[in-house]
Amino acid sequence: MVVKIAARQSDLARLQAFEVGRALQAVEPKKIKLEFHFRSSLGDQRADDPLWKMPEKGVFTEDFVADIMSGKVDLVVHSWKDLPILDRTGTQIAATLPRADARDVLLVRRDRWVQRTGPNLRPLPFRVLTSSPRRVYNLEPFLKWALPWPEQPPEIEFVPVRGNIATRVSKLTALAIDDSCDAIVVAKAALDRLLSSAIYGDPFIESAGSLRAALQKLHFVVLPLSVNPAAAAQGALAIEVRSDRQDLIELCSRIDASHDRSCVEAERRELARHGGGCHQKIGVTILRRDYGTIEFIRGLTDAGDVLNSCELRATRSVWPKPRSPDEVYAGVAGGARREISHAAVATVSLKDPTSARGLFIARAEAWPKKTEAWPGKAMNPGQSPDTYVWTAGLSTWKKLAGQGVWVHGSSEGLGEGEETRLETLAGNKIEWLRLTHEDAPVTGRAGAALATYRVDGEVPDQEVLTRARFFYWKSGTQFQNALAVCSSIANGYHATGPGATSAAVRYGLRACGVSETELEKRLAVFLSEADFHKFLHSI
């Protein structure tokens, strides 16, 4: 069987077509032969025009419809986000592959950043290349606090740019230092695919090498979804076929990533509620986790409505209603924090000399204050190409940035088990070192842990704990301390955020004899303490 696969002729589009071809051949290695057809689209032909000046729908996909309907090609591989929101007559999406990273990446010129942080500070605006209304709307306030500005953050300016990823990145790095932009925003999925393209041989080996060389001149920040949700369906590939080709529909169903597809389709439905189209200042990303589905929505509708929500949809057991405020306990996560000896940070060596170091920071207090504790002279790992900083949440990110630390991204409060997915950008494996407090419980994040501070926790009031039936735990240590004072809390209803705290509370309740059946009834996950209280009020 010969399968004719079509796509746009850019490097990224061809890579995506090859990815689909490999997946199809993997399910039928002896029966399928591939034939590729590449051509330009309206969006490619008008590469100098801003997208907002073009037709609202299908500028990168509409040109392929006639080829599918005539039988010239069997299927077309698209980026899901480029497809019009409304279904087309006569064709359908037969499958989507496992979704790549949906997030955006900010790339910042190192030489321009040195000018902003060195002895000759540049008070000029920070200029960012992007043509996305969504990115412009969402990123301006974020950039004011997320980067380690030496003084007050500068004015943020956005400059339109078109072209494929490699072209846009080269535009940034090739501009003269005194008359250029500082940064660019691109889709991480596209960047990851291009950097990994050498497996397909020439000419991708050379282009991937050129892109990797360009990245050596840039700092990067993986932009958080809670602040900057992606374009609907970003990172996912759609395989379009003619609706009457049951043979192709059946074949594609064997490579369909149904869970990812359901998230993508839900994102597109949400965007459709507000009009749809790439001209919208709206980002929406939906993630599936074992504790529920998380939906990020942020932006501004054409009607002027502000959208800003981060919601966890989870199946929870019915809890009784609290009879009084005394039955609800959500105490402080700990007492005073004191720095302890952290000279060992400088002596922690990488097991694999070809790896880079990653520092996972759960709380800002974990960051050593003495610069001599760090390898090299700079406290800021952003100045050290082989060190990456990842935070548990955005509040820690903000505090570290205020201390002059370059933060590369965050788990956004979703737990330490969230994958950073940095290896492709870094170009090698990352060995993670978790900086934490002295009595921190072991968590699921791979890598070593190093205590850099001590928590002198306040002893919970036994009488207060005895009266309570509903508990929100901010850390595993907080739960353990309370359990030591009042073991009867094991009989209550418990809530945590995702990740390590949930695992620690679950383990502790099991040790108290709580059965798995009861755990499912009396242990729930929320994205925040505020969501926990909102849930109690809704009972």
Give which of 466, 464, 469, 479 is closest to 510, Cα–Cα: 479
**Do the beta carbons of residue 128 and residue 158 sit within 8 Å?**
yes
- Rounded to 10 degrees, the C-alpha dihedral 286/287/292/297 comes to -30
Q: Extract the tokens encoding 359.
A: 């520092």
| Whole-angstrom distance, CA of residue 398 vs CA of residue 141 | 12
pTM of the model: 0.90
Q: What is the pLDDT along the chain (539 residues), one digit of tens a residue?
A: 999 999 999 999 999 999 999 999 999 888 899 999 998 755 444 445 454 444 544 444 678 898 999 999 999 999 999 998 888 899 999 999 999 999 999 999 998 898 887 766 667 899 999 999 999 999 999 999 999 998 889 999 999 998 889 889 988 988 665 567 899 999 999 999 999 999 999 889 999 999 999 999 999 999 999 999 999 999 999 999 999 999 999 999 999 999 999 999 999 999 999 887 667 899 999 999 999 999 999 999 999 999 999 999 999 999 999 999 999 999 765 555 566 654 444 445 556 656 678 889 988 988 877 554 454 333 354 445 568 999 999 999 999 999 889 999 999 999 888 999 999 999 988 988 888 877 776 554 556 787 777 777 667 889 999 999 999 998 888 899 899 999 999 999 999 999 889 999 999 999 999 999 999 999 999 999 999 999 999 99
Q: In what order do the strands lie in the sheet with 356-361?
A: 336-339, 448-456, 430-437, 356-361, 387-391, 409-410
| 437 CB-near residues (< 8 Å, 6+ apart) | 334, 337, 363, 365, 366, 451, 452, 453, 454, 455, 477
**Do the beta carbons of residue 170 and residue 154 sit within 8 Å?**
no
Domains of the chain are 2-101+231-309 (3.40.190.10), 104-222 (3.40.190), 318-332+459-538 (no CATH), 336-456 (3.40.50)
Within 13 A of 486's CA, how many CA atoms are on the CB side?
20
